[in-house]
Structure 1
C-alpha cells in the first residue's frame, strides 16, 4: 500500500507543477509586429526579416563569446543558435507560402 500512496503523491506533485506552468509559461508568445496604417504585408515581412536578423546576430555574439572564452554559457549559446535557426526556417516557410500564393493569383484566369 505504501508504494501506491508514494505514486499518488508523486502524481499530485507533477499535477501541481503542471498547474504552476500554466500560470507562468516557459515559452513566451512572440512579440507582435508594430501596427502600421499603410504598411501592408511588405512592412510586416520586413519587420519579420529584421527580427530574424536580430536573432541571428544575438546567436552569433553568444557563440563568439563562448569561443573566445568570455562566457562559459555553452548551453545558452546553443539555445540562441537553435532559436535563430528555427526563426530563419519559419521565415523561409512564410516566404515560400507567399510566393506560391502570388503564383496562384497570377495564374488565375481573368
Structure 2
C-alpha cells in the first residue's frame, strides 16, 4: 500500500516538474515503469495488503470481543485503517474504469 502511495506521489512530482510533455520523456518513463513492475503488480500488492489489514483488524476486534485484549482503541484504529484502505482502493478502481471508458469512447 505504501509502495502504491509512493508511486502515485512520484508520478505527481514528476508530472509537475516537466509540464510540457515530450514523446521521448513519456516513452522513457513508460519503459522505466515496465522495467520495475507493471500496474497489475501494484494492484495485486495493494489487494494483498488491504486483505491483510482487514484480517488483522478482524482478529484484533475478535480479541477484544472475547476478552483476551483490552486494546479497544487499537482495534478501532485498525478497523478504520482497513476501511480507509479499502475505500482508497475502490476509488482507484473507479478512476481506472472511468479512464478505460474514456479510451473506449475515443474515435479510432
- TM-score of the two chains, using structure 2 as the length reference: 0.68
| 1:79 matches 2:80 | no
Q: Which runs of 5+ in 2 are unaligned?
A: 5-32
Shift of 1:32: 1.8
Q: For the pair shown, which has the larger CA radius of gyration, 1 or 2?
A: 1
Deviations 1:51-106 (A, max 9, x none): 11011011001000001111000010000000000000000000000000011001
Measured on the aligned residues, the alpha-carbon RMSD in Å equals 2.1
Q: What pairs up with 1:31-46 in 2 under 5 angstroms? A: 31-32=2-3, 37=35, 39-46=37-44
Pairing of 1:98-109 with structure 2 (within 5 A):
98-109=96-107
Aligned residues: 81
**Correspondence for 1:58:** 56
**Which whole-Å deviations, capped at 9, do the CAs of 1:21-64 have from their partners, x for residues lacking one?**
xxxxxxxxx6325x973641111111111111011011001000
Equivalence for 1:88: 86
Cα distance in 2, alignment partners of residues 54 and 85 from structure 1 = 12
Tell me what 1:16 maps to: none
Query: Within 2, Cα distance between the matches of 1:104 and 1:81?
Result: 35
